[in-house]
Structure 1
Amino acid sequence: MNQQLKDALLANLKIKELNEMQQATLEAARDHANMVLLSATGSGKTLAFLIPVLESLDKTIKGTQALIIVPSRELALQIEDVFRKMATGFKVTTCYGGHKREIEENNLLEAPALIIGTPGRLTDHIRRENITTQTIRTLVLDEFDKSLELGFLDELSFIVGALPAVERRMLTSATEAIEIPEFLGLTDVHRLDFLPTNEEQGPRLELYYVNSEEKDKADTLFQFICTTAGRSTIVFCNHRESVERLNQMLQERGLTTTFYHGSMEQREREVALAKFRNGSINTLITTDLAARGLDIPHIRYIVHYHLPATEETFTHRNGRTARMEASGAAVLLLGPGERLPAYLQGTATEMTVDPEATLPEKPKWTTLFIAAGKKDKVNKVDIVGFFAQKGDLKKEDIGVIEVKDFFSFVALRRSQVSHVLHLIKDLKIKGKKVKIAVAK
C-alpha cells in the first residue's frame, strides 16, 4: 500500500496515524501468511486486520476474495461500518442470524469482494451455494476464542473445510486462554502479542467497589447513577430477567435507561444500541452479550451488578470502557456476604454513593426512527438536509445518524423534537413519504 492510499484511508476514518499494534500487524502481514494477533478489546484490532485484508484484494478478480468470521451480528456490523468508511471501492456484505436470508441472498448474487458473517449463517449460505468459495484467499477469525466458546466449533470446521484456496489466515483475540483447533491449518504461525501487562493496565482503568446493604442491590445501583450524574454507564447482569427487571425499576424511578440481551428481536436491539450510542440514553443494562464487539465510545462506567463468573468475563466487560486513549472505571456492587474476587484483592478502592443524590438531568438528545435506509438510496447527507431544510434545524441540533438497510436513526435535540415532527408531517424524503417517529 503506497503512502498516498494509506493517507486517504486514514483521512476517511478521521484518524491521524496507525497505532503501534496496527502498524506492526500491517508490516507482519506482508511477510507471514498465518498470524495470531492478541490485543486488548478497544485497541483497534478491526482496522489492524482490515488494512491487510484490503491489501490482499485484487480489483481484477470478480469473486469473493476475503472472509471474516465473527461471533456476533453486532461485531459483523461494526466491521462492515469501518470498511465502508474506508471507502475502498470494493463491495462488502454481512451475513448474520436475525437478518432476512432473502436480503443476504440478493446481496450475494453479485459476489462481494469481502464477506463478514457469523458461523451459523455463513454455514447456511455455503450449503445453499449462495457463496462461491473457490476464490477466497484470505480468512480472518475475529474474536475466534469467543466463537469457540459459544459452541461454533462444528460450523467453523465446516466453513474452513469449504475454503479450498485460502492462502492467508489471521486469528484475533483479546485473550490467550484458548487452544487453536487443528482444522484451521495454521502452520508457521507468526504471533503478535500486544496484550497489556498488569502494570500497563492500571492507570487507565480505575477499579472500585460499592457495598450494598441490601441483597437486591437495586437501590444501590439507583443511588450510584444519581451520584455520578447519569454519566454514560453499562450495567452488566448475569441473567436476562434481571436486565429487564432492573430497567423497569430504574425507569419507574425517573431514570432514562434501556436494555439489551439475546432474546430481543434484532430491530429492538438496533434501537437500544442506537439510543445509547447517540446519547439519547445514558444507561444501558445488559447481559454479557454486550461484553464484546460493541463499538461505543466515551463510556465512563462499567457496573458489575452481578459479579462476573470468571476473570476473563470481567476483562471483556471492562473492555467496553477505557478504550484507546480514553479513561474509565469499573465498579463492582457487593451485596451482603459478597466479596471481591481473588484476582482483584488489593486493587480496587471503595466508593461511597450519596443516598440523597438527585435525579440527573435528562439527556439532551431524542432518537427518531426513519423508515428508509440504504436500500432506499437514503444516506446521512439526505437526512441532515431534510431536517435542516424542512425541520428548520441548525447543524448543532442534529446529532449522530445511523443508516441501516431499510431504516435509519437520527438524534435530534430533545427540546426541538415536537416542533420538528409538526413541521415535517406528511413531507417526503427523496420523493418518498416515509414514517418518521420517536424511536420506541
Structure 2
Amino acid sequence: MDDTAFSSLPLAPALIANLKSMGYAEMTAIQAAALPRALAGVDLIGQAKTGSGKTAAFALPALTKLNPRDFGVQTLVLCPTRELANQVSSEMRRLARYQQNIKVVTLCGGQSIGPQIGSLEHGAHVIVGTPGRIKDHLRKKTLSLARVNTLVLDEADRMLEMGFVDDMETIIAATPRSRQTLLFSATFPDNIQLLSERFQNSPERISVAVLHDKQQITQRFYICERSQRLVALEKVLIHLQPAAVVVFCNTKQLVRDVCDFLNRDGVRAFALHGDMEQRDRERVLIQFKQLSCLILVATDVAARGLDIEDLPAVINFELPRDSEVYVHRIGRTGRSGKLGTAISLITDAEMFKLKGIGEHLENTPKIEAIEHVPDDDKGLPVPAYVTLLIQGGRRDKLRPGDILGALTGDGGIKGDSVGKITVTDNTSYVAIERTQQDKALKSLREGKIKGRKFKVRRS
C-alpha cells in the first residue's frame, strides 16, 4: 500500500471518504511525517514551509479523539492572528464533516465577546483562537479547558514574537497535564525549544524540507540605491504585471510609505499591518483574495494567516533580517505545483543579509542591477474585479448560494461574471467583474436576497 495514501493510516472509512471528496489525494511531506506519530498519541514539534498542509497534520489526530456526545472542549488550537484562526477553523469544519454535530468555535479579539459567550454556553468540541481572547474567556470563567485532550500551538514562533508568552502559559496551565501537545513553527529560535521543554512530554521533532524547489519559484535580486527603492519597486511592478502580489516590508511605517507612494501614482495598493483595526484588516484580506485589489503591502506578522492558493508573485521591498523569514516569505508563491516569482530589492548595506540567505539556500544568489529590468510604458493592470459589500451575513442566515442566486436570477448577471463570495458574521463580500459592477450594484440594491432587502455598496 502507498505510504503516502491516507488509507494507509488508521482512520475511519467515513473520514477517508471525506478527505477524498475534499481533494486530498495523498499526504504532503509534513502530513506523512507527522500523522502516524500524532495518531499514536505522541507529542510533536514540527517544522514545515508555508502551504505544506500542516492544518490537516494536527486536525486529523484531534478529530479522531473527539467524543461527539461530550460538548466539553476537547481540542484547543492557539493561533497568532485572527486571520489564521479563521482559516484553521474553516478547514477543521470541513475535515469534521465525516461525523455529525461537531462544533468548532472561533474565539478571537477584534469582535464583541458577548456572542462568543452565548455560543460557548451551548458547548463546543473544538476551540480555535488567539491567546489574548482565550485568556479573556478563562478570566471571565466562560470557558473551561479541563477536558482538553489535544493542544495545538500553531505558528508558535509568531505567537512568541508577538509577545503572547505570558498568555500562553496561563492558558496551557488550565489544560490537563495528560494532554497531547502538537507544536508547529516555521522557524526554530531558541525560545521555541524552551517552550517545548516546558510544555511537551518527550516530543518527537519532525522537520521536512523548508527549502523551495528551484524550478518552482524563480528568485531575482535587483540592487539599487536606497533613495531609488520606491521608483525601483514601481518599475518592477509595471514590468511584472502581476495578477496579484504581496510586497513585504520590515516595518509598519515602511508599509505606509510604500502604499502612499503607489497610491499617489494611481495604483490601488492596500496596506496590512498590526496597527490596523481588525475589521479593516479583514476587509483588506477579503478584497485581496477576491482579486479586486492586486497589490498588498504587508509586514511579516500581519501577513500570517494570509493564505492565497495561487499567488503568482511576492516582492521583498527590503530583505528580512532572518534567512528563515525570507524562505517563509517566498513560500507564499509557487504553491501546489504552480510556478511563482520572488523578487528582492537590495542595497549595498544589505549584502550581508544576502550572504546569509545564500548560505541558507545552499546557493549563491545572482545579483542584477535594477537597470536590467526593461522600461515599460503599459502601466499596471487594473483589477478585473470590484468587491461589493452587503450589510448582511451569517447572522442573517445568508449563504454564498443565496447571493449568487440573487445576482444570476432576477439580477441577470452571468454566473461567470461573479467571482469569490465571502460571508462573515455580519457582512458579505461578492466579487463582480469590473464591467458588470454597476448592473450588479443596481440589482442588489433594488432586489432582494432570500426575500429581504439589504444595504449594498462598493467596498
Secondary structure in 2 aligned to 1:341?
A: helix
Among residues 344, 352, 374, which one is paired with 1:354 in the alignment? 374
After TM superposition, the structure 1 stretch with the greater mean CA deviation from structure 2, 223-232 or 323-332, is 323-332
Rounded to whole Å, the distance in 1 between the matches of 2:16 and 2:367 is: 44
- The offset of 1:220, in angstroms, is 1.0
Rounded to whole Å, the distance in 1 between the matches of 2:195 and 2:381 is: 51
- What letter is aligned with 1:72? T
Equivalent position of 1:186 in the other structure: 200
Cα 1:85–1:386 change in 2 (3 A) is farther
Secondary structure in 2 aligned to 1:130?
A: coil
- The offset of 1:126, in angstroms, is 0.8
After TM superposition, the structure 1 stretch with the greater mean CA deviation from structure 2, 145-154 or 400-409, is 145-154
After TM superposition, the structure 1 stretch with the greater mean CA deviation from structure 2, 116-125 or 231-240, is 231-240
- What letter is aligned with 2:41? H
Compute the RMSD of aligned alpha carbons: 2.0
- What letter is aligned with 1:329? T
Find out whether 1:364 has 2:384 as its counterpart: yes
Output one character per residue of 1:310-351: Cα deviation in whole Å (capped at 9) or x when no partner. Answer: 223222222322223223222111246543522234224536
Equivalent position of 1:259 in the other structure: 271
Rounded to whole Å, the distance in 2 between the matches of 1:76 and 1:31 is: 26
Find out whether 1:412 has 2:432 as its counterpart: yes
- The offset of 1:114, in angstroms, is 0.4
Rounded to whole Å, the distance in 2 between the matches of 1:320 and 1:290 is: 14
Rounded to whole Å, the distance in 1 between the matches of 2:393 and 2:197 is: 40
- What letter is aligned with 2:20? L
Equivalent position of 1:5 in the other structure: 15
CA contact (8 A) 1:75 1:293 kept: yes
- The offset of 1:291, in angstroms, is 4.2
- What letter is aligned with 1:341? L
Which structure 2 residues correspond to residues 30-429 of structure 1 after superposition, within 5 A? Answer: 30-86=39-95, 87-88=97-98, 89=100, 90-164=102-176, 166-177=178-189, 178-181=192-195, 184-196=198-210, 198=211, 201-213=213-225, 215-335=227-347, 337-339=349-351, 341-345=354-358, 346-350=364-368, 352-429=372-449
CA contact (8 A) 1:160 1:184 kept: no
- The offset of 1:408, in angstroms, is 1.3
CA contact (8 A) 1:33 1:167 kept: no
Cα 1:182–1:141 change in 2 (3 A) is closer
Note the residue ranges of structure 1 that are not aligned, 5 or more in a row: none
Rounded to whole Å, the distance in 1 between the matches of 2:325 and 2:66 is: 35
- What letter is aligned with 1:9? L
Q: TM-score normalised to the size of structure 1?
A: 0.93
Rounded to whole Å, the distance in 1 between the matches of 2:443 and 2:418 is: 15
After TM superposition, the structure 1 stretch with the greater mean CA deviation from structure 2, 285-294 or 136-145, is 285-294
CA contact (8 A) 1:292 1:317 kept: no
Structure with the bigger percentage of helix:
2
Secondary structure in 2 aligned to 1:331?
A: strand
Output one character per residue of 1:24-62: Cα deviation in whole Å (capped at 9) or x when no partner. Answer: 322222223311222111111112111111111111212
CA contact (8 A) 1:207 1:331 kept: yes
Rounded to whole Å, the distance in 2 between the matches of 1:184 and 1:63 is: 26
Cα 1:223–1:36 change in 2 (3 A) is same
- What letter is aligned with 2:69? T
Rounded to whole Å, the distance in 2 between the matches of 1:417 and 1:291 is: 29
CA contact (8 A) 2:78 2:129 kept: yes
Secondary structure in 2 aligned to 1:215?
A: helix
Q: TM-score normalised to the size of structure 2?
A: 0.89
Secondary structure in 1 aligned to 2:147?
A: coil
Secondary structure in 2 aligned to 1:369?
A: strand
CA contact (8 A) 1:215 1:335 kept: no
After TM superposition, the structure 1 stretch with the greater mean CA deviation from structure 2, 309-318 or 261-270, is 309-318
- The offset of 1:417, in angstroms, is 0.7
Rounded to whole Å, the distance in 2 between the matches of 1:237 and 1:214 is: 14
CA contact (8 A) 1:298 1:321 kept: yes
Secondary structure in 1 aligned to 2:193?
A: coil
Rounded to whole Å, the distance in 2 between the matches of 1:50 and 1:182 is: 19
- What letter is aligned with 1:31? A
- What letter is aligned with 1:380? P
Rounded to whole Å, the distance in 2 between the matches of 1:291 and 1:424 is: 32
Taking every aligned residue pair, what percent have the same amino acid on both sides? 31
- What letter is aligned with 1:221? L
Equivalent position of 1:435 in the other structure: 455
Rounded to whole Å, the distance in 1 between the matches of 2:457 and 2:380 is: 25
After TM superposition, the structure 1 stretch with the greater mean CA deviation from structure 2, 33-42 or 290-299, is 290-299
- What letter is aligned with 1:71? P
Secondary structure in 2 aligned to 1:81?
A: helix
Rounded to whole Å, the distance in 1 between the matches of 2:428 and 2:20 is: 26
Rounded to whole Å, the distance in 1 between the matches of 2:242 and 2:149 is: 48
- What letter is aligned with 1:95? L
- The offset of 1:103, in angstroms, is 2.1
- The offset of 1:201, in angstroms, is 4.0
After TM superposition, the structure 1 stretch with the greater mean CA deviation from structure 2, 428-437 or 349-358, is 349-358
Rounded to whole Å, the distance in 2 between the matches of 1:132 and 1:311 is: 40
Cα 1:375–1:78 change in 2 (3 A) is same
Aligned length: 436
After TM superposition, the structure 1 stretch with the greater mean CA deviation from structure 2, 254-263 or 208-217, is 208-217
- The offset of 1:216, in angstroms, is 4.3
